[in-house]
Structure 1
Amino acid sequence: MHLHILGICGTFMAGVAILARQLGHEVTGQDAGAYPPMRDQLAAEGILVQEGYSPEHLQPSPDCVLVGNALSRGNPAVEYLLDHRLPFLSGPAWLAENVLRDRWVLAVAGTHGKTTTAALLAFLLDDANPAAKPGFLIGGIPQNFGVSARLGDGPFFVVEGDEYDTAFFDKRSKFIHYGPRTLVLNNLEFDHGDIFPDLAAIETQFHHLVRTIPGNGRILFCEEEEALGRVLARGCWTPVESFGSAGTWRAEHRQEPNAAANDGSRFAVRYRGEEVGQVHWKLIGQHNIQNALGAIAAAHHAGVPAASSCRALAGFRGVKRRLEERGTVHDITIYDDFAHHPTAIATTLAGLRARVGDRRIIAVFEPRSNTMRLGIHRDALAPALADADLVWLHAPGLDWDADSVIAPLGPGAHLRDNIDAIIEDIVEIARPGDQILIMSNGGFGGIHQRLLAALERGLRSQEHVSASRQDRD
């Protein structure tokens, strides 16, 4: 069967494309633009991606068109498939029917941490039984697997459950299609202000999700999240366990001897009051401890002993674009992170601060998400960035006054309309030991490699000038 995917370079639809290819289908697709890592992943799979939404890419007609949720009426490809009555489905509907129907589905939902928690869960299931590899579809690329999706050959399938709408013709949240037996609820805040009027509307979607979990399933939720408490109070027919500071699953920090700060890289796990294992791993931050607890609890429901999971986490290498170290030049390190909500920005910075201590942190943020561009979270942006020593905001064409928003950060905060200006500014002031954290939910114009190259050139030039002056002296 020939499947053609509209919006194929989105994180979810790229994963669907890979699963369809592994099922033996011919897969093609088109998108308005693509950037790493999904672009590279599709290329490695040999999947043809055509630029733009010309109807010509739908000729000859495929057997079915899968429509991404970024497309709406008025899009040339959408209008063509409707006018010519081409068969079409949403990505979540296709996934549910063709991949998830006979699997034990483990879903991870929440405003933050879905990708990391889902990656952790897939890793733990894979480690526990390498002979029956779990399938997964995750909104990022786990470093241990190198791909965002895999069909797998075991009974388990891990899916990242997104509350965003399914398609222009199906406004339910994507996760309503998946029918999980095990559900992790990380947290719940207001987001996606372009489609939800308030937090209560999102809570309703999560309530609908809870209603789909069977009685022989399990719901694992963060007990510190008031919104999740309200969701479960509306009705729950499934056994629940909590994780967090006072939950069924808890973590206790274990600080390294002589460590400057507790960065979250070492902790003990308790289940119903009893210590079941210790974790010493590469990730940092309190938010990642919470992610780990959710994953350990979900794997436990699927039969993986908690002690085994705790030991296995030492081998977890993280997810691309989640505090991913992109390179170091002259002892200046550049990180890439997907953070685009104030809470995610704050927790990422807090984790990095705990790790690097007094080293200078330079934060570069692109407010690219629909919610951020609408200015819905603008008042929370400055407090979220407070852990950074210097801040650059890339903000061309915003509908809100970014200058006044970052003013509370003082003279160390800078607003720029183009990437070249940001790079020039940072090269001028960067010094050995700096930690540069770049945050965006898009490609950000390839700023990571461009900045690394500019720092290499700029600092090398400064060293040359300094050496020349010493020679003259």
Structure 2
Amino acid sequence: MNNPFIFAPGNITVHMVGIGGISMSGLAEILMHRGIKVTGSDLHESDMTNKLKNMGAVIFPSHDASNISGQNLVVYSAAVPQNNPELVEARNKGIPVMERAELLGVIMDHFQQCIAVSGTHGKTTTTSMISQVMLEGGLDPTIHVGGMLDTIGGNTRIGSSSWFIAEACEYKDSFLKFRPSLAVVLNIDADHLDYFRDIDHIRSSFESFLSNVRNPGTIILNFDDPQTRLLSKSLTRSFVSYGLNASDADWTSEDISFENGCASLSVCHKKTSWGRIKLSVPGTHNISNALACIAACHSMGIARTSIIKGLEGYKGTHRRLEDKGMKNGIRVMDDYAHHPTEIQASLSAARALAAGHLICVFQPHTYTRTYELLDDFSRAFALADTVVVTDIYAAREKDNGLINARTITEGINKNTGNAVYVSSFDEIVRFLDENAQTGDLVITMGAGDVYRVGELYLSFAGSP
């Protein structure tokens, strides 16, 4: 690679723009473990930035050219604009600049066996499942996951073996920087349409990703997903398939039952009984994620007993159908779903857990996604009794004036008539206090900061 020095301990310093992000913070931890000095900048103080400070990182509370003072490399995420003053200053000073995904790819190249989990939906959960099984199987992996996993006490674990596992995000073709030895494709759906032209463009990107898999290497594909199945027809190398409803897949399931929303299932490998598993996370979508995990871990040579024990011990990742607490007999959960397909899957799981009404508090994520997928969002909430829609979380975008939360509320009401727009989090808390009843389930949903609504509601003392 062009920057082999980044793993050389000594007087090497890497500066990370937006160091508090879920991925950037983990990469900083990996670099520091390798003896690299780390500086960074972030506008928001958080548990992650405080942890890195305690490890010795120097973190600035603003993005400023003065933060660049002789570092050897500057790393930024895809969400950072090119006119960021730190990037401009680094280039002016001739300091190499590298995008986050390229750094992750360089790190991957230092491991003999690396797993990359891709797909529009389910990456964090499936990566976490596989990680838990790898730990159970004694592989001692280095783990880099896009969520907080209690098993490893955060989003990153430093192992001492040659195994590495990470999520592979398709946004802006980021995962094309990776050369994994094992790649999983969970699904291919229309998303990130601020970058991709259409579904064909997205599928082509996944095809390019798979062309980077090392040889020998392993490819795992979901045959339930039509776009992934279509992709398989263009591959010139062998692959392993799985599917809930695909009888021609290598890994399938049968005899599925549910208890408290969680599935028990018999797993078959090439039409032969392999074993029975009882999951500890709810939802039919997690059966599919579990099959992906089994297919991947079996390909790694992990023992069946370790796969079963690891999967059955997986209790979930934060912000993925996460239980937040109970209040007056009302259950409060939170989920990261921010795409129509994810919303439907998570509501299906939540519906099975709700004794009474299901109330969904939804915060749309990015103007582009909300605008491009408006019709799909409008049809996604049929399983909820009430949908409280709040303002769009802009993330990396600016308001273009084409879409707002009232528009999506109107779209939902044209289809299912169950939505109400409420602007502020405090007003949503009061709405829940006045309308939620014992036995109801309240689920906050979105990739922004909507989880705070559940926390505020649980601590709300009520009207005077």
* Alignment TM-score, normalising by the size of structure 2: 0.89
Structure 2: 5+ residue runs without aligned partners? 1-11, 393-398
Q: Quick check: 2:87–2:97 contact (8 Å CA) kept in 1?
A: no
Amino acid at match of 1:433: G
Q: CA deviation at 1:155?
A: 2.1
CA distance in 1, matches of 2:408, 2:378: 10
Instruction: Confirm or deny that 1:70 pairs with 2:70.
Output: no
The equivalent residue for 2:8 is none
Are the structure 2 counterparts of residues 434 and 214 from structure 1 closer, same or farther at C-alpha, using a change threshold of 3 Å? Answer: same
Instruction: Give the one of 171, 179, 184 matched to 1:164.
Output: 171
Residue of structure 2 in register with 1:251 after alignment: 253
Please point out which of 422, 440, 449 is paired with 1:434: 440
Q: Secondary structure at the match of 1:321?
A: coil
Which residue identity is paired with 2:341?
Answer: T
1:401-448 CA-to-partner distances (Å, cap 9, x unmatched) read 234212235553111222222111111112222211101212238323
The answer on whether the counterparts of 1:55 and 1:77 sit within 8 Å (CA) in structure 2 is yes
Q: Which residue of 2 aligns with 1:4?
A: 15
Q: Aligned residue for 1:465?
A: none
CA distance in 2 between partners of 1:145 and 1:212 (Å):
29
Does residue 1:214 correspond to 2:211, yes or no?
no
**How many pairs does the alignment contain?**
441
The one-letter amino acid paired with 2:297 is: A
Report matched runs for 1:9-408 at 5 Å. 9-33=20-44, 38=48, 42=52, 45=55, 47-58=57-68, 60-129=69-138, 132-165=139-172, 173-245=173-245, 246=247, 247-255=249-257, 263-356=261-354, 358-373=355-370, 375-395=371-391, 399-400=402-403, 401-408=407-414
Q: Deviations over 1:187-237 (max 9, x none)?
A: 000100111111111111111111112342111111121211222222332
Task: Give me the whole-angstrom Cα distance separating, in 1, the residues matched to 2:61 and 2:114.
Answer: 34
Residues 217 and 238, structure 1, Cα contact 8 Å, conserved in 2: no
Structure 1's 43 and 369: CA in aligned 2 closer, same or farther, altered over 3 A? farther
Contact residue 253 and residue 264 of structure 1 kept, 8 A = no
Report the 3-state secondary structure (helix = DSSP H, G, I; strand = E; otherwise coil) of the residue aligned with 2:298: helix
1:41 deviation in Å? 5.5
What is the SS of the residue equivalent to 1:427? helix
Closer, same or farther: CA 39–313 of 1 in aligned 2, 3 Å:
same
Alignment partners' CA distance in 2, 1:410 and 1:233: 38
Q: Distance in 1 between matches of 2:185 and 2:211?
A: 14
CA 361–27 in structure 1, closer or farther in 2 if over 3 Å, else same: same
Distance 1:331 1:40 in 2: 35
CA distances 1:224-282 after superposition (whole Å, capped 9, x unpaired): 212112222223324333333222111224426xx5x8x34311211111221111131
Q: In the alignment, what sits opposite 1:458?
A: 462
TM-superposed CA distance for 1:61, in Å, is 2.3
Matched residue of 1:281: which SS?
strand
Provide closer, same or farther for how the CA distance between residues 450 and 45 of structure 1 changes in structure 2, counting only shifts above 3 A. farther
Query: Quick check: 1:2–1:63 contact (8 Å CA) kept in 2?
Result: yes
The amino acid across from 2:317 in the alignment is V
What are the superposed Cα offsets for residues 68-120 of structure 1, whole Å, 9 maximum, x if unpaired? 11112222222222222222222222233244333201111000001100111
Checking the alignment, whether the CA contact within 8 Å between 1:395 and 1:402 is kept in structure 2 is no
Q: Which moved more, 1:74-83 or 1:38-47?
A: 38-47
Q: Distance in 1 between matches of 2:454 and 2:67?
A: 32
Structure 1 gap segments, 5+ residues each: 166-172, 462-473
What is the letter of the counterpart of residue 272 of structure 1?
A: K
Q: Distance in 2 between matches of 1:192 and 1:35?
A: 27
Q: Secondary structure at the match of 2:101?
A: helix
CA distance in structure 1 between the partners assigned to 2:290 and 2:115 by the alignment: 15
Identity in percent? 26
Deviations 1:18-59 (A, max 9, x none): 1112212222211244667x556546655443333121222x
Which residue identity is paired with 1:399?
Answer: L
